[in-house]
Amino acid sequence: MTNHHRGEIEAELSGRRYVLCLTLGALAEIEHAYGGEDLIAIAERFEAGRITATDAIRVIGAGLRGAGNGVSNEEVAAMTTAGGAAGFLDIVVRLLRATFAGATA
């Protein structure tokens, strides 16, 4: 069961249900993956519709690990989901919305 107050979402990957959550540590992991770029710059890039497959792997992987799942990015890259690429994009968008909903600049 997900806790929406904590920014958790649920997603099915390779036939298994997972909880994902971008904790502070998971967000730091994403910043590190982008060479220390701050979260606002990363979010602006995503909002502009520039999300690559590598971005999806990084965000989904960080979300899985943030929720306590011991899954590497290599394992995420081999996973499948309903809807293919669009399904992965949906997971990324839902996770980012759950994390940053109500955030103010």
- Is 9 within a domain? no
b/e 79-100 (16+ beta carbons within 10 angstroms → b): bebeeeeeebbebbeebbebbe
pLDDT digits 0-9 by tens, 78-100: 999 999 999 999 999 999 999 98
Residue 105 to residue 76: CA distance in whole angstroms: 31
Number of domains observed in the structure of the chain: 1
Q: Which of 39, 33, 37, 14 is nearest to 105 (CA)?
A: 39
How would you classify the pairing of strands 9-13 and 16-20? Answer: antiparallel
Query: Which pTM was predicted?
Result: 0.91
CA 90 to chain centre: 10
Q: Show the domain range for 75.
A: 17-100
- Is 74 within a domain? yes
- Is 7 within a domain? no
- Is 32 within a domain? yes
- Is 75 within a domain? yes
- Is 81 within a domain? yes
- Is 47 within a domain? yes
- Is 67 within a domain? yes
- Residue 79 φ then ψ, to 5°: -80, 160
pLDDT digits 0-9 by tens, 5-20: 889 999 999 999 999 9
